[in-house]
Amino acid sequence: MKQLVGWLSGLALTLTPVVALAEGATSYSRGNAVGYFTAIAAVLIFGIHDVFHKRWLTWTSAIVIPIVLYLNLPAQ
């Protein structure tokens, strides 16, 4: 079960930029992608806190995850 959850989480994280870029076919707005990525970052940070209950890990993920997701945004 853990492998399934890990695989699905990896798949979702991999496909997230695709979902954000899919709006480019009609009218892409970087603001929409930022909204998606902000929600994803919040869920990931809460999940890390909920699973590990380590303050240092939560703070580290709260810094690293938004930066990594922001860097994944396409330039436009």
Q: SS3 letters for 1-41?
A: CHHHHHHHHHHHHHHHHHHHHHHHHCCCCHHHHHHHHHHHH
Domain ranges for the chain, please list them: 2-71
Highest mean pLDDT (candidates 9-18, 24-33, 61-70):
61-70
| Global pTM exceeds 0.85 | no
CA separation for the pair 26, 70 (Å, rounded)? 22
In tens, the pLDDT along 46-68 reads 999 999 998 999 999 999 999 99
Q: Determine the 3-state secondary structure of 28 from DSSP.
A: coil
What integer pLDDT is reported at residue 7 of this predicted model?
82
